[in-house]
Each structure stands twice: as C-alpha cells, then as structure tokens.
Chain A
C-alpha cells in the first residue's frame, strides 16, 4: 500500500499543508497516549494504573483517551494501519481478545512483541494464548471475560430452588429449572439477542472448541459443541423461556429491571448489575452450565481485552516499562480495580490478594471473586482465529430459522457455505 502513497501523494500533501489555516497542537513527545473505551471501566482502571506509575516516574506523562467507543477505536485503528500512517496512532491501545489475531496477522509489524521483556507466565494461559503469534506474545493481558450465571435468587427461591441447585448443571437442566421458575413467578428465563452470537460462542468454548480447526480451516459441519449449542438455543425458544431483546440498552435494561431470572455473561457485567443498589441481596452468581457432551466444563469466557503497544510508538520503552511495572507486578493495583471497577484482571498472583477473598452482600454474602478465580483457571483455551466476525455473521443469519425449529444440520451446512465464501 505504501507503493500507492507515492511521490504524487506527497505533492498533494504539500499542497494541502500550504493551505492549512488552522492546526491544533498534537500530544508532545514523551507523552504516552492510551486508547481505551468506556471511561467507567477500562478508562478508570487505566487512569488508576497511570497515576500509580507517574507517582514514581514524574517525568512520564500518560494520557488516557477514553472518549471513543470500541467500534470507533477499531475503525480508527484499522483506517490508519491500512493507510500505512502512524501519525495519529497512540502508544498503547486496548483490543478485545477475539479480534486480536486479525490485527496481528493482517498488519504484521504494527504491534510490538512484549514477551521478550515481560514474563508472560504470570498471567492466565488462555489470555496469553489469544495474543500469541509465531511464538511471541503481543499483549499485556487485562480483564478476564470469565463467565458466570448471574441469577435472581428471589425468583429461584420462589420456585423452590437454592444456590446448590445451580452448581454443576447442564444447559438442559437450566431449561427445566427455567420452566419451573416461569410457572412460579411468570418471569422469562433469559434475554436473547438474535444479533449477538455471544452465548453460542460461550457454550462452544466451554467444550474447548471454536469455529476453526488448528490449521485455521473452518470447523462447522462436524462441530459437535456448536451443534449442541444451537440445539440448546432453539430449546430456550421452544420452551418459551426467552425475552427477545435487541441491542445493549434493551438487554441490560431487561435484566436490571427484573424481567428475567438469569444472565449468563462475562464477569465485567458485575458493575452494570450492581448499579441497581435497590436489588442488593437479590442476586447470586453460579458457574455457567455446561453442554451435555464429553469435554464440556462449567467455565467459559466472553469478551475481555488486553493492552497492545504500537511498534510505531516513539515512547515504546516508557510504554512497556509502564505496563510491566504496574500491570505485570503490582498486586495491590489489582485489588483496587477489583473493588472500584469490578475489573477481574489476568495476573495470577493478584488472586491471592485481600480483595479477592472478600464476600459481597449484593450477591447474598457469597465469595464471588474467589469463585470467579476458580472458574477462570478452568477456562479451556481456544484459538480465536482471524475470522470470528465473519462466522458470527453466518451463524446469526441462521438464528431466526433455528429458533423456529428449523433443521440444525441444514443450518450448519448453510453457515458453512456462507462462511466458506466470506473467509478469503
């Protein structure tokens, strides 16, 4: 692409510069810029880390820009990497784990390998694996997307279920429980969004599988966990246990206003649930159910992201030292962000800390963080590949048919053929 940006382009550039009547000062050298989304979660934790680091390194200035959404950050990053322009890029950027490989593989050399300077064995394996390419790991693992089954303990109690009834169960059993809860309370079991294949991926990963084989080829038609997951999905609808939602607002709005009984989701939802202080004591967290097939466990992952250093950064050394000093070593920091933001990090040593031992009255006095830590260590690592978004779209295209009782094998064939066409 740099070829196209030839001398002519530079001439145009010069012409443009000469008509520049207004320019705004950019960040000066020596500043470490960070892009992250969500000021209350990622932004706040990064700012906490920055203030800890600059306390000992007053010469370094860390600027956290959390004013863009994740979609926006992806669009900006991709435009600039495609343009071959490193001008406006930050020094550190937050990237979600399941899209990381796409960036690493389509923009070789754009990101700085961190495993040379930072010991990756101190982090959860599956997080490191998501950012490893050709033996080098490129990310400083941040939040875990370890999943839990958040549930309304009051609704379940009304139907005669206790916390123990949710331990070590299968999704099929959850359908049975949901049916009884609905009969007793009138509440639907869960919220589902046909535009989001997140639950299906979560189920699949609990069996250590993803959309791809080890060599990167598609694994759809003979993917037993995926098939089982789709069948389970259809079961929810056939048992009439679903509250259909669309989009983040309606989704979170539904369960935080008490519409539904359970929410199978990543741990990062904790803050959203606890934002409704009047529901304190009415919630519990159980391990997520497993698929009723060999190899599936009661633990999985959804979302979660990590920090990447841009190779073009003028302040690489500072950026890496910052990540290393705080994010790879400061156990106390992890206690603080757990308490303040509900952020579960991936540093294994952090789990021995005080905050992780605490119980939470909001969740009926359960040691929730310890539970999440336990489940975290059981998450099967999978290779997210580089075409997850494409296959997701293919899966979503079949969901309306599937929930109406359509043939699953035919759906798998259709997913496979669409995905086959898209991954090129």
Chain B
C-alpha cells in the first residue's frame, strides 16, 4: 500500500463512520457531562481571570492598579502613548519576532530530525548518546552562561541575533519530545514507503512530517513561546538597546523607582499577543491530526 493523503483521508472517514454508531443511552451520562462542564468552566475561569485582570489593567492608571481597581478605566490611550514614546516598539518587536521565528524553524528541523533518527535507528551507541543528552538537559543554564559567553565573545558575536539563536536550536527537550511522539508513528507507513523506493530523507520529508502534523504544531507553540520569552541568555549577550527583545525591555520597565503599571501592563499584553495568535492558529491541529485514523 502506498501512502497518500487520499488513503489517509479514507481511513479517517472509516473511523468517523464507526464513531457514529452510538452506545445505548447511559442514564448517568447527563450527570457526568454536567460535571465535566463544571470542572472545565472552573479551570477556564481560574486560568483566564489573571489574564483578564491584566487586560483591564491596561485601561487604568498606575495609581488605580496599585489600589486594586478591577473595573475598566479610561487610561488605555494614555498608557499606549506612554509605552510607545518610551519604547521603540517596532524595533524591539522586530528583534523578538526575527529571533523567535528563525530559532523556531531551525529548532523544529534539527530536533525532529534527531528525534526521528534516535527512534527509528536504534543502536546501543546511540541509546547511550541519548541517555547522555537527557542528563545534559538537567544542567541549569546559569552554570553554562559564562563559558558560552566566552565562546561568543571570542567569535566576535556578542550583541548579535546569531548569538541568541544558535545555542537554542539543538534542543534536547524537543529531540526528546519528538522521539517520544515518534513511538506512535506507524512503522507500516515507513515500510510501505521503502517498498515504494523512497529514500530515508524522502520518507522523513513526505511521510513523517505530514503525518506528525499535530506533534509539529504542539512543538511549534512550545518552541516559539520559549524563544519569545527567553530571558537570561539574551539579557547577557545582547548589549545595546536597539538589539534587545521585547521581553527584556518590558521586564526592565518594572524595576523603575516609580513603575508606571498601566504602561507596563500595556506592554505585557502587547508582548503576549504573538504567542497567543500562534496558539489560536495552530490549536485546531490538535483535534484534526490524522495519525490516529491510519493505524
């Protein structure tokens, strides 16, 4: 059997058809369903509340925020103006976006290749290497910062995007994630593709990557978020204000002797938007992933 999107879609339809055969009505189903909604509603409220509070905060003055005012105010425009006059927003957004996008693309490619390689081609030596990587994953970054800085300063790369991006792109965490996810990748697909004469890199590119879409979607969110919010390393390696990321800039605003919280919350909401948008765009992938249907 050769694998094409069409056959996979067929398989998906088959499953849907089976799902349509409903079990006989359960008398407790309603109660259980009600409990699920209750649980999710509470969780959603608790999750959203601080975020909502932050958005409301952008419409209030600093003094009102400190007093704990929790209703909408009329300071939104003022806060925005203060933020944009004090921060070169376009510049710092560009810095953040460039770093996060390039780093995410590279991380997904390099780390998923490795995850695939570790799971599909098992050998004793590679298992040892993998175990070693897991061990390295646990070393706190603070311990590595000084030697890393030495390296980048000798390469004359201090204060560059390169210095921010390069150390993050081979992520043990994401390699580990892809390896675990690959365990669910049906080997029949790979065998079939091999019989069809596909080379290994073609299998990876044309079979593995499309099939693992939901895994890539989840990884994209995770990696983008990590890069967007990355703090300690960019802080150390980026020197001049015009190269700094929005995370660094907004964070420094809070340490003023007289912090303007309305303006700071405006900045944080703004800094949060990109990750949120990425999540909105990709979240449907989690429900539409087709892998399950093929098995």
Contacts and interface: CB of A to CB of B under 8 A. Distances in A.
Q: Do chains A and B touch in the complex (CB under 8 A)?
A: yes
Interface of A: 5, 9-10, 12-17, 19-24, 26-27, 37-41, 63, 65, 67-72, 75-76, 79-80, 82-85, 87-88, 248-249, 252-253, 256-257, 268-269, 271-272, 275-276
A276 B64 CA distance: 11
Contacts of B239: 26, 65, 76, 88
Given A71-B255, A271-B258, A5 B86 contact: no
Given A38-B256, A82-B146, 7 more contacts: A20-B160, A68-B248, A85-B154, A249-B259, A253-B66, A256-B63, A256-B66
A72 B235 contact: yes
B258 A83 contact: no
Given A67-B248, A268-B257, A85 B150 contact: yes
A22 B248 CA distance: 20
Contact of B241 (A67, A75, A271, A272): A67
Nearest to A16: B155
A85 B159 contact: no
A40 B264 CA distance: 14
A271 B257 contact: yes
Given A9-B154, A83-B149, A76 B160 contact: no
14 contacts: A16-B154, A16-B166, A23-B161, A23-B162, A27-B240, A63-B240, A67-B249, A69-B252, A71-B255, A88-B158, A88-B239, A249-B254, A256-B63, A268-B257
A20 B162 contact: yes
Given A20-B160, A72-B252, A9 B151 contact: yes
Nearest to A15: B155
A21 B150 contact: no
Given A20-B160, A22-B160, A65-B241, A272 B236 contact: no
Interface in B243-288: 243-244, 248-249, 251-252, 254-259, 261
Contacts of A37: 252, 255
Interface string B142-158: 00011101111111111
A329 B167 CA distance: 47
Given A23-B162, A67-B252, A87 B156 contact: yes
Nearest to B261: A249
Nearest to A82: B146
Contacts of B252: 37, 67-69, 72
B67 interface: yes
B155 A17 contact: yes
Given A68-B235, A79-B236, A256-B63, A26 B159 contact: yes
A10 B154 CA distance: 6
Contact of B157 (A23, A65, A253, A276): A23
Nearest to B237: A88
Nearest to B67: A257
Contacts of B153: 13, 80, 83, 85, 87-88
Most buried by A among B152, B239, B257: B257
A252 B258 contact: yes
Contacts of A17: 155-157
Given A9-B154, A67-B249, A80-B149, A40 B258 contact: yes
A309 to B, nearest CB: 17
A12 B151 contact: yes
Contact of A70 (B156, B240, B255): B255
Contacts of B86: 39
The SS class assigned to the A binding surface is helix
Interface residues of B, number: 42
Contacts of B236: 75-76, 79
A323 B161 CA distance: 33
A249 to B, nearest CB: 7
Nearest to A71: B255
A257 B64 CA distance: 9
B49 to A, nearest CB: 19
Interface string B56-94: 000000010011000000000000000000100000000
Nearest to B256: A38
A82 B147 CA distance: 9
A38 B159 CA distance: 21
A42 B251 CA distance: 17
B131 to A, nearest CB: 25
Contacts of A276: 63
Contact of A248 (B155, B156, B259): B259
Interface in B203-235: 232, 235
B162 A21 contact: yes
Q: Which 10 A-B pairs have the closest CB atoms?
A: A13-B154, A69-B255, A16-B155, A253-B66, A85-B153, A13-B155, A88-B239, A272-B258, A17-B155, A67-B241
A75 B235 contact: yes
A22 B102 CA distance: 11
A312 to B, nearest CB: 12
Contact of A269 (B66, B159, B257): B257
Contacts of B157: 16-17, 20, 23
A168 B153 CA distance: 55
Given A10-B154, A67-B249, A76-B236, A24 B257 contact: no
A257 B240 contact: no
Given A68-B252, A83-B153, A249 B258 contact: no
Contacts of B240: 24, 26-27, 63, 65
A2 B161 CA distance: 26
Contacts of A75: 232, 235-236
B66 A12 contact: no
A275 B262 CA distance: 14
Interface string B170-204: 00000000000000000000000000000000000
A79 B259 contact: no
A256 B62 CA distance: 11
Contacts of B147: 83
Contact of A69 (B63, B237, B251, B261): B251
A76 B235 contact: yes
A278 B81 CA distance: 23
Contacts of A257: 63, 66-67
Given A24-B161, A79-B236, A257-B66, A12 B154 contact: yes
Contacts of A253: 66-67
A412 B155 CA distance: 50
Contacts of A79: 145-146, 149, 236
